[in-house]
Structure 1
């Protein structure tokens, strides 16, 4: 598709794709950059893993809250999902199996990463959703179909995140459980909207697991 986020840079770091055995696709949040999420990625990186981060036009994937009706966030939402897919396919084209590709993100990026895996259900190396959830005014876990075949899923969020209702976090967890994911949901008391060390450690464990596939 052609949309606002097509033609933007794909930032890479870590092990070069030509030498990598696994990859992590990182999706940045609202107002952030691909370079900033790659910097976070270096905290969870392991030798042999390529880092790939698509860049949103004007640093924002979609204009409104992820809780707004889906049509209110078009074409940004669909264009963002295509940007995630393009990054995943870049890794696959380099010879990395999908089962060794982890998709993750923070905030808006976590929402896009979650939506991408849920809408394209197959076995991935993992999903890491930090302070985010599935996109839309409502989420019905039973409306998602397919099988992610035991994909490890980490979902971390505060119980008082001003942008992410805890009910949406739980609905996202239920959806991925129904899709056959191996889900680890962690709710942190009083954290607000951010990322803590426990989450980074959990994602680092997922990244290390990519090299065991």
Structure 2
């Protein structure tokens, strides 16, 4: 049984909004942290769904540890995230109307998911995160990520996420054909800057609005 799927899911925003943002929180956080974060993006044509992780963590050890050291928790978290996407699709949301948004551990989880189990989503916003594990990985070889906007933002001296890993992750998305936008801002705190929030809001507002 996947413990992550037994946790609560926080939703907000107008039910008829054309875009659905799946917001994945960081280690030690709760979905309310993602609601607070997205409040800094400005008005958005979107509704939000933010699942809680079991024990407030998607996997137990730092993301640069060997993959095996974070198992089976990592695979369970990836499967739970895929299940949340599938639930959105089953209730009438088109895959192209789904935006994946993550911060910190949530951004790492989503980056790894998209690079190892790619889908043609509407966009991804990855704030202070990168693919998981100490070793390089290969970019996807299919066309699922062709043209998908992927926004990556981080801090140059972030204490938990090396800037180099964020840049490596951006390169993998570029290799996979995504429209990648990456910026590393100066600083040493584990934060999302106002500039990053503005860029995230602009990306979500720029997405095509489907006709209902």
Please say whether Structure 1 and Structure 2 have the same fold, judged by a TM-score greater than 0.5.
yes
**1:108 corresponding residue in structure 2:** 105
Gaps (5+ residues) in structure 2? none
**2:193 corresponding residue in structure 1:** 196
Distance 1:146 1:45 in 2: 34
- Once the two structures are superposed, the pairs formed by residues 98-177 of structure 1 within 5 Å of their partners are 98-140=95-137, 142=138, 144-147=140-143, 148-177=145-174
Question: Is it true that 1:11 corresponds to 2:10 in the alignment?
Answer: yes
Q: Is the contact made by 2:26 and 2:105 (CA closer than 8 Å) also made in structure 1? A: yes
Distance 1:48 1:212 in 2: 8
Sort the Cα spacing of 1:45 and 1:54 in 2 relative to 1 into closer, same or farther, 3 A: farther
The SS at the match of 2:154 is strand
Question: Is it true that 1:75 corresponds to 2:72 in the alignment?
Answer: yes
Sort the Cα spacing of 1:24 and 1:45 in 2 relative to 1 into closer, same or farther, 3 A: farther
Distance 2:2 2:91 in 1: 24
Deviations 1:46-81 (A, max 9, x none): 454110111101101111110001111112211111
Aligned Cα root-mean-square deviation (Å): 1.6
Aligned residue pair count: 209
Question: Is it true that 1:56 corresponds to 2:42 in the alignment?
Answer: no
Gaps (5+ residues) in structure 1? none
Distance 1:203 1:10 in 2: 22
- So what's the TM-score if we normalise by structure 1? 0.91
- Give 1:45 shift: 6.1
Distance 2:139 2:183 in 1: 24
